[in-house]
Structure 1
Amino acid sequence: MKTMLRWCSVGLSLVLGIWGCGDDQQGNRITGPDFKPGPGRAYQLELVSFPSADGVQVSALFGDPQGSLKSGQRLPVVILVHDLFGSKEEWVFFLDQLLQHQYLTLTIDLRGHGQTPLPDDNRDSPDLSLEDLEKSYLDVQAALKWIGTQPQADASRIAMIGNGMGGNVTFVSMGVFPAQIRTAVALSPGLWDSQTLQPLVVGAGLKPFAPHSILYLVGADDVIPIDNTEQLEFARFSNTLAYSTGDPKTVKIFSNSSDHGLDLLHNKPEAVQLLLAWLETYL
């Protein structure tokens, strides 16, 4: 198995493993979290699941601003994708921003993460592999199909937001499903082969492949040092993906910032403003 290199809060991760899997609990409902903005404002999140084309049961949280179904109004949908070794719960802090702006949200666990298992394919190793990551767009495809069954969802207005490696999956999914995903935002995308340092999970070999309408947000100082003379730069990775992205596209590099992924949303108010403005304009 190829080893992969990416940035973690604890440093470099050279071997892929499963962060965690759980049993499907479709139909369970949770309320919350207690969002600070808005007096008396509360949103219900529903734990749902749906099958991928290769038989993986994808776990997700579905958020709906109250009253949309009762009013008969169809709302645009934002699919959110976590980082490597992450889960759908990492996005919960940001859901109020989207729900307040009248977006439905669908936050998914990619295969081998959170409550979504790996494929039951008689594999030799139980560990998450590069092939699993390369096929994560199938989990997004399952989400797109599920959205099409929801009466309150406007399936003609779907966006994606990806964090870290989830930004790679967002780029690939946009390339494979350009007619179904209208626009996207990638936060600090980046994943490299630890031996060759070649970019991974960038849609290699997928045809047709036509990513478009992506906003890239990245810190200028978000890097992985290799040795005293070489480093991997997430800003350069974003620029590489943007080169293959059709218009409209924007790469926003935050100077003097090493914030990675969701840290940009925590620490850079401008990042939140740019993200919401991008959705407002292109979704």
Structure 2
Amino acid sequence: MCYNYTIMKRIVLIILSLFLIFFNLEANSAQGLMEKEIITVAKDGFTIKSTFVYPKIKNQKEFPTVVLLHSLGYNSQWWGDLQDNLLAKGYAVLAIDLRGHGKSIYNARLSKTSWKSMKNSAYAKYPDDILSVINSVKEENTKRVFFDNWAIVGADIGASAGVIAADKYPVRPKTIVMISPVVRTKSLYIPVNIAHLDNVDFLAISGTDDTDSKEAAKYLSKFAQAQFLEFTSESKTTGMLMLKNDTGLSKMISEWVSEYLN
């Protein structure tokens, strides 16, 4: 009896989940947006989940794309107004839950894995995870080319992983925005990668009291081959919390990105 109850409970949850996905797609469709959940299996079998959203514009076959990579301990739901601002400018947005975060918590054995228990060797896989997701998006959208004209916005470890991924990807992003940048985090060390990214302009954003990020930005700027602008937010917090506490920051970032994507 308990066994049947468990099965029925799972069926109900699955039906509810499908309904919510359908409802979300319908709502976005009404607003002129197409939203897709991207499920990517990494090389080691870890499941990475992302949300890919782009405007529904008649006869437009490609969109400039912005990849959003969150802070350590957060997830892709924390971007707030930034995603809306980017979509309003006509860009596609790929928001990735990095492994161990958000919906990206199942390893090859289908066991839950949290970032809190991950070793540096797992964090080292972040850049390749990002590239795998990008390739998944391209494969599922063969009629559109989303990554010939693209940018990255990342916060702390997300920024570092994005820099390394950009160095590995054949088409350079037009710009990279780093919120609370770090020189080394976990096993991700980025100065050399920044040096490789010629013709890529950087925007490094630090909180008012975040001396570590300010010092990191100053050091990283020495390796940049193009423009490297340092900006101090009014917020006294770090990472994703700056977007919440500095209400003008999302608009500022979207305006910066719009100078590069066309």
Taking the aligned partners of 1:94 and 1:147, their CA distance within structure 2 comes to 21
C-alpha contact (below 8 Å) 1:88/1:107 kept by paired residues: yes
Aligned match of 1:136? 126
Per the TM alignment, residue 192 of structure 1 is displaced from its structure 2 partner at its CA by 6.0
Instruction: Give the structure 1 partner of residue 7 of structure 2.
Output: none
2:88 pairs with 1:100: yes
Q: Which SS does the other structure have where 1:167 is aligned?
A: helix
Would the aligned equivalents of 2:156 and 2:180 in 1 still touch at CA under 8 Å? yes
Say whether 1:79 aligns with 2:67.
Answer: yes
CA distance, structure 2, for counterparts of residue 243 and residue 208 of structure 1:
9
Greater helix content:
2
Correspondence list, 1:166-181, <5 A = 166-177=158-169, 179-181=171-173
Partner residue, 1:6: none
Equivalent position of 2:228 in the other structure: 249
Amino acid at match of 2:24: T
Q: CA–CA distance in 1 between the matches of 2:173 and 2:223?
A: 17
Q: 1:207, CA displacement in angstroms?
A: 11
Picking from 24, 29, 33, the partner of 1:31 is 24
Aligned residues of 2:71 and 2:240 also touching (Cα < 8 A): no
The 3-state SS of whatever aligns with 2:165 is helix
Any idea what the Cα deviations from partners look like across 1:14-35, whole Å, max 9, x if unmatched? xxxxxxxxx9x99x45628x99
CA distance in 1, matches of 2:46, 2:62: 28
Displacement of 1:116? 1.7
Computed over aligned residues only, the root mean square deviation of the Cα atoms, in angstroms, reads 3.7
TM-score (norm 2): 0.74
Gaps of 5+ in 1: 1-22, 194-198, 224-232
- Of Structure 1 and Structure 2, which has the larger fraction of its residues in strand? 1
Kept in 2: contact 1:183–1:213 (CA 8 A): yes
Please point out which of 38, 42, 62 is paired with 2:52.
62
Overall identity of the aligned pairs, in %: 19
Aligned equivalent of 1:215: 203
Q: TM-score, normalised by structure 1?
A: 0.69
In 2, the alpha carbon distance for the partners of 1:207 and 1:238 equals 12
Match of 1:228 in 2: none
Query: Aligned equivalents of 1:91 and 1:161: distance in 2?
Result: 10
- The residue identity in structure 2 corresponding to 1:280 is S
| Structure 2, gaps ≥5 residues long | 1-13
Shift of 1:88: 1.6
Give me the whole-angstrom Cα distance separating, in 2, the residues matched to 1:177 and 1:252: 27
1:274 aligns with 2:262: no
CA distance in 1, matches of 2:259, 2:64: 13
What residue in structure 2 maps to residue 148 of structure 1? 138
Residue 110 of structure 1, CA deviation: 1.1
Q: 2:176 aligns with which of 180, 184, 207?
A: 184
